[in-house]
Structure 1
Amino acid sequence: MPFWHQGKIVHVDRTGDKERASDGHSRYGSYVGAREESFKDHFEDNAPLDPISFARQAWYVASPPVMSPGLVDWRPDLAKVDLERTEEGDNLAVVVTLPLTHSQLAARIPYTYGDWERYAMWSDNGYDYLQQPMVKLGQPLVTASAEIRHIPAWSLLQPTALTGPELVEEALASVEAVAAAINAELPEIIRTVLGGER
């Protein structure tokens, strides 16, 4: 299990990926191999995806729910770390979904507020996994989260491979580069949003 701290919110588990691989090399490689068509540009014959689409697809395959446990993992106090193409289409943004507890909200909600519940068995170095409370029939239940969108200073990989081990290596390199950029810039933003609490 990765060691989480304020400067690390995502982890690429290359060791666990190899240990869980049915082929003895890479479990992620098997997932990429089974989805090679999704790494091709279907508007241009025999062309790989553009760097933004390639990074998104590599991250998507590496993350839950596609891979579970994923090659990529994020800190237990975060609900999701995803990638999306910007509205202009010319860049890649990271989207972090951050659960907010009742005490972190400025306004009162006129429904039963079901605070996020800490699941201590999945805690790691003080970062607790937060789960939604159970909802009951006829009783609206509200939880809150914040979505943080940010465009880091990416250095996105230009893919060249369409198949085989070369495609897997490029996908792995893309996932690791994205994780490094996220860890370089997002932790401080998250701390600021939470008022330095985490």
Structure 2
Amino acid sequence: MPEFSESVLVLTDDADDRERASDGRSHYGVYLAARFHQITYGGDYADTMDFAIWAWQIATSPVMSPGYLRIRPDVAAITPHLTEDSGLVMRIDIPLRHHALAHRPARVDDWTRERNTWDDNPRWTRLAQPEPTGDRPTLLTTASLLVPVGDEHVIVGTARKPGPGLIRDAKRAVKALAARVNDHAHLVNALTGGTR
């Protein structure tokens, strides 16, 4: 079973994907087939970047839960976005506790630590928004890291219908983006101290 580490912000679990598959092949593939109409226009893909974005969105929560792609608990979200010049960036949102700020605000609540119910490793603690207490304000700080994705990291979908070809293309697309994100894990670790 794949595990998170200092160099892994996002991972895939193909064994779990097969195990959860209602079609006997791929749980992710079932989701792709059900949403294939969203990405094709007259049998063709709208854009090469669109395929990669579509595949990522389906592979992650809330569309799939648990997702084909799993995001390290100390990271709030990892999402693909098109830039104004039709490039692709991966946005990594990282909740930061007040101790990471140059000036710590006084008398305000901060993110709270939440136990991972699905992962026994306490190293990658998820931070959650606290419940309001009295009239005390809460300051939640999040850093967004934008990782550019060059064309060489974008897998173009070629399948013209749902099935093994679509699953192969989509898995290759999200794994390529995940590798690009994981190449920058050191920057996230620098923000969080490597652990919470």
TM-score (norm 1): 0.86
One-letter amino acid matched to 1:171: A
Percent identity, aligned pairs only? 30
Structure 1 distance, partners of 2:134, 2:44, is 51
Structure 2 distance, partners of 1:103, 1:123, is 25
- 3-state DSSP class of the match of 1:88? coil
Instruction: Output one character per residue of 1:136-189: Cα deviation in whole Å (capped at 9) or x when no partner.
Output: 475432211111111144421122223121222211211111112222x21122
Matches within 5 A, 1:139-150: 139-150=136-147
In structure 2, the residue matched to 1:180 is: 179
Note if 1:87 corresponds to 2:84: yes
Match of 1:103 among 99, 105, 108: 99
Structure 2 distance, partners of 1:95, 1:20, is 28
Q: Could you say what the CA RMSD is over the residues aligned between the two structures, in angstroms?
A: 2.1
Structure 1 distance, partners of 2:120, 2:130, is 17
In structure 1, the residue matched to 2:7 is: 7
Instruction: Output one character per residue of 1:3-37: Cα deviation in whole Å (capped at 9) or x when no partner.
Output: 21111111011111110111111111110110011
CA contact (8 A) 2:52 2:156 kept: no
- 3-state DSSP class of the match of 1:182? helix
CA contact (8 A) 1:100 1:144 kept: yes
Moved over 6 A (4+): none
Change (3 A) 1:129 1:36: same
Moved more, 116-125 or 11-20: 116-125
Note if 1:47 corresponds to 2:47: no
Moved more, 63-72 or 9-18: 9-18
In structure 2, the residue matched to 1:171 is: 170
Structure 2 distance, partners of 1:169, 1:114, is 42
Change (3 A) 1:29 1:120: closer
Instruction: Output one character per residue of 1:87-131: Cα deviation in whole Å (capped at 9) or x when no partner.
Output: 222x11011110101211123346622233242544526111222
Consecutive unaligned residues of structure 1, counting only runs of 5 or more, are none
Note if 1:117 corresponds to 2:113: yes
Consecutive unaligned residues of structure 2, counting only runs of 5 or more, are none
